[in-house]
Amino acid sequence: MQSHEVDYQIIGDDIQVVEVELDPNETVVAEAGVMNWMEDNISFEAKMGDGSNPDEGFMGKLFSAGKRMFTGESLFMTHFTNAGQGKKHVAFAAPYPGKIIPIDLSKINGSLLCQKDAFLCAALGTKISIAFTKKFGAGLFGGEGFILQKLSGDGMAFVHAGGTVVTKELNNETLRVDTGCIVAFDEGIDYSIERAGNLKSMFFGGEGLFLATLRGTGTVMLQSMPFSRLADRIIEFAPSSGGSRKGEGSVLGGLGSMISGD
């Protein structure tokens, strides 16, 4: 199925929104719960599967949707369609601070592998499936887990990354990356996990026990702030179960606690 041709505009700097423009009868498929606003005459419906194969049948759709549950995503996806006349708009928001990356799949050989929670939305016709990493060690110790999402098609897809996004073009080169900092890469890249130096570096270097090694020729997208790293920082400074908390400064932190009654 050829993907619908959608136009778009990315709004904002740190917590971005992508506003997709739909012609009559055009459809965009999105993860459940990411819609921000939509104009009149845009209809939406939760469906099993991405709609890339309309002749798939109920059992095929159920199987495809069931595989998505391995990545921690919803069984259903939401399809937004312009059911009116003229151009209409629907917008989708990033779930945490970072950037939305527009990807024209037709320009990267029609396929992209991405971390399991990176996908935001895509033009109808894009196949959203799962892909197992080639090496078991990569799945066991990699930040993206054993299962990655695979986006296939010839239209626009949108993925989200934390912090600043850096795109690297490898030409038969090797790049070593913190496992959580990988957003996506194309299938021309070989992905594996290697030990982060000697034992002292692994346990005391602060870079984790393993690093991802990316080799080959193709596109790699990296993020400066993985959500797991952001969550760890929030948990570190969150109030403990005993009610105590860490302030940024002892005087101001204590004053804030007194004002709030803690």
Q: What percent of the chain has pLDDT over 70?
A: 69
Rounded CA gap, 133 and 213, in Å? 13
What φ, ψ does residue 150 adopt, rounded to 5°? Answer: -120, 125
β partners of residue 227: none
Average pLDDT over residues 149-174: 92
For residues 143 and 12, the model is more confident at 12
Domains along the chain with CATH numbers: 7-230 (3.60.160.10)
**168 is written with which tokens?**
């690297």
In tens, the pLDDT along 74-99 reads 668 899 999 999 999 999 998 888 89
Q: What is the mean pLDDT of residues 117-144?
A: 73
Range 145-158 burial, b when 16+ CB lie within 10 A, else e: bbbbbbbbbbbbbb
Please report where in the chains the tokens 């095929």 appear, as a residue: 60
Q: What is the DSSP letter of 181?
A: G
What does the mean pLDDT of the chain come to? Answer: 78
Neighbouring residues of 168: CB distance < 8 A, sequence distance ≥ 6: 175, 219, 220, 221, 222
Identify which of 216, 235, 44, 24 has the alpha carbon closest to the alpha carbon of residue 121: 44
The neighbour count for residue 1, using CB atoms within 10 Å, is 15
- Whether residue 242 is predicted with pLDDT greater than 90 in this model: the reply is no
Question: Does 103 have pLDDT greater than 60?
Answer: yes
Q: Which residue has the tokens 């921690």?
A: 72
